């Protein structure tokens, strides 16, 4: 019940179909009025369903202009391939955190998507989260409500089918999250002939700057059951503003090459959550240089430093407890030094509450389940709410 409540609060060319681009900006929870001369979107037809390329609807959750990317659903710009380590680059080609919004009055929604890998699941994370799509609709009160998950339904990289059907009549706004731990080379959204499909209203002025998360496999989304249930997605819906997910599984290491790329983004806040991938001495060595790099490039952008989540079995495993303790102490010491040196706009989130108190929030003592991600989001919200609610 608490999980459901938190998510709720947090959050044309063919005559058979009119596919238009909505150009007006609506108030929160509302829909854009139809433009006087709507620009038709290219469509393709198959079996009575009209499909629109997701790129024509607008891909959200990236920190650079579309033209900067080597592929349409990458997370780092093409130039990053020559800057970052190969592991970081390869992981950046996963579509974690990317989403598409649209408006339709369709009684059913279809999707076709092509993945970069035929490894659809992991031993500790289902195919729905690794390679699936996750669909939400905005209700009459303006809240995002979960509706359906598009599950990979066959072997291989080509996936597709009906995401949801038998929908109540009405025109509403939809939000579709892309896979967390797989890449996507193409994505199309389809509606039956006779329905309308429009681009969603743009982000409201004042809410257009993204919250940028730089982190580890947890930020990347392991091990959410669906793309919409990781904490970055929960916070995306809670605040109604873009979120850029730069989580790199096993490779969120406070590296200066990634820091230089982060500094290019005109962010509402930088969230640095890398400690699970580095030990205490590395945390001590890398925190201050990364913060100083970001602060020099973005003097007024808040920076949130996040402690390592505490392993849920560390109460019984002294080695894990010692690692957590050393990491926490190193990050806090670096934060205190930066504050004492007069570096402004720094904020701190402790790690002890990130996975709740019952020990039930992970699959392996480290990576959150959906309930663990709700605990994550609630802990983050205590720091982020004063900025974004």
CB count within 10 Å of CB 227 equals: 30
Contacts 24+ apart (CB under 8 A), 4-7: 6/234, 6/374, 6/377, 6/378, 7/144, 7/146, 7/229, 7/234, 7/237, 7/374
Of 332, 339, 282, the closest CA to residue 307 belongs to 332
Q: Are 240 and 253 in contact (CB under 8 A)?
A: no
What pLDDT was estimated at residue 35? Answer: 41
Q: Does domain 2-199 bear CATH number 3.40.50.12280? A: no
- Angle between helices 231-239 and 370-388 in degrees, nearest 10: 40
Residue 89: what are its φ and ψ, rounded to 5°? -60, -45
Q: Please state, in angstroms and as integers, the Cα–Cα distance from residue 39 to each residue in 22, 34, 192, 198, following that order.
A: 8, 11, 20, 10
User: What are the start and end residues of each CATH 2.60.120.260 domain in the chain?
Assistant: 2-199
Model confidence, pTM: 0.91
What pLDDT was estimated at residue 38?
56
Answer yes or no: are the C-beta atoms of 270 and 301 closer than 8 Å.
yes
Q: How far apart are CA 243 and CA 297, in angstroms?
A: 20
CATH code at 211-388: 3.40.50.1110
Q: What is the pLDDT of residue 13?
A: 32
Distance CA 265, CA 31 (A): 28
Which of 339, 358, 280, 273 lies closest to 309, judged by CA? 273
How many helical (H) and strand (E) elements, i.e. helices and strands, does the chain have? 10, 17
Q: Quick one: pLDDT at residue 204?
A: 77
- Confirm if 239 and 384 have CB atoms less than 8 A apart: yes
Look up residue 153 and give its two tokens. 């339904």
Rounded Cα–Cα distance for residues 261 and 301 (Å): 15
pLDDT tens across the length of the chain (389 residues): 333 333 333 333 333 333 433 323 333 334 444 444 457 789 999 999 999 999 999 999 999 999 999 999 999 999 999 999 999 999 999 999 999 999 999 999 999 999 999 999 999 999 999 999 999 999 999 999 999 999 999 999 999 999 999 999 999 999 999 999 999 999 999 999 999 999 999 887 778 999 999 999 999 999 999 999 999 999 999 999 999 999 999 999 999 999 999 999 999 999 999 999 999 999 999 999 999 999 999 999 999 999 999 999 999 999 999 999 999 999 999 999 999 999 999 999 999 999 999 999 999 999 999 999 999 999 999 999 999 99
- The strand pairing partners of 51, in sequence order, are 44, 190
pLDDT of residue 10: 38
Sequential DSSP letters for 305-340: EEPPPPPTTTTT-HHHHHHHHHHHHHHHHHHHHHHH
- Residue 361, CA atoms < 13 Å, CB-side half-sphere: 27
Residue ranges of the chain assigned to CATH 3.40.50.1110: 211-388
**DSSP per-residue letters across 70-96:** SSTT-SS-GGGGGTS-HHHHHHHTS-T
Separation CA 65–CA 305 (nearest Å): 27
Closest CA to 161 of 132, 136, 141: 132
């Amino acid at each position: 019940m608490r999980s459901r409540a938190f998510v709720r609060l947090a959050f044309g060319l063919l005559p058979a179909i009119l596919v238009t681009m909505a150009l007006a900006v609506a108030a929160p929870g509302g829909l854009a009025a139809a433009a006087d001369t709507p620009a038709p979107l290219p469509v393709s037809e198959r079996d009575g369903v009209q499909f629109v390329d997701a790129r024509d609807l607008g891909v959200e959750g990236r920190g650079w202009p579309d033209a900067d990317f080597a592929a349409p659903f990458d997370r780092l710009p093409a130039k990053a391939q020559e800057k970052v380590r190969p592991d970081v680059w390869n992981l950046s080609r996963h579509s974690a955190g990317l989403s598409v919004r649209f408006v339709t009055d369709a009684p059913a929604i279809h999707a076709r998507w092509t993945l970069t890998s035929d490894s659809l699941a992991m031993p500790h994370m289902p195919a729905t989260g690794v390679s699936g799509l996750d669909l939400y609709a905005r209700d009459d009160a303006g809240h995002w409500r979960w509706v359906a998950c598009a599950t990979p339904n066959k072997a291989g990289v080509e996936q597709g089918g009906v995401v949801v059907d038998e929908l109540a009549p009405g025109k509403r706004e939809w939000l579709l999250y892309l896979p967390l731990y797989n890449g996507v080379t193409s994505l199309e959204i389809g509606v039956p002939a006779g329905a309308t499909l429009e681009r969603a209203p743009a982000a409201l002025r004042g809410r257009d700057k993204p919250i940028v998360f730089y982190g580890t496999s947890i930020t990347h989304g392991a091990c959410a059951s669906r793309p919409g249930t990781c904490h970055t997605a929960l916070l995306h819906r809670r605040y109604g503003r873009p979120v850029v997910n730069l989580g790199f599984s096993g490779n969120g290491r406070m590296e200066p090459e990634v820091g230089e790329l982060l500094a290019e983004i005109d962010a509402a806040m930088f969230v640095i959550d890398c400690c699970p991938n580095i030990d205490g001495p590395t945390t001590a060595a890398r925190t201050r240089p990364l913060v100083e790099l970001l602060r020099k490039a973005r003097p007024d952008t808040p920076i949130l430093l996040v402690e390592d989540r505490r392993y849920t079995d560390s109460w019984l495993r002294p080695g894990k407890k010692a690692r957590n303790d050393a990491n926490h102490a190193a990050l806090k010491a670096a934060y205190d030094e930066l504050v004492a040196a007069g570096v402004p706009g720094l904020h701190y989130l402790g790690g002890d509450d990130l996975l709740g108190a019952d020990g039930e929030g992970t699959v392996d003592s480290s990576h959150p389940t959906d309930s663990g991600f709700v605990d994550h989001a609630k802990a983050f919200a205590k720091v982020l709410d004063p900025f974004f609610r």
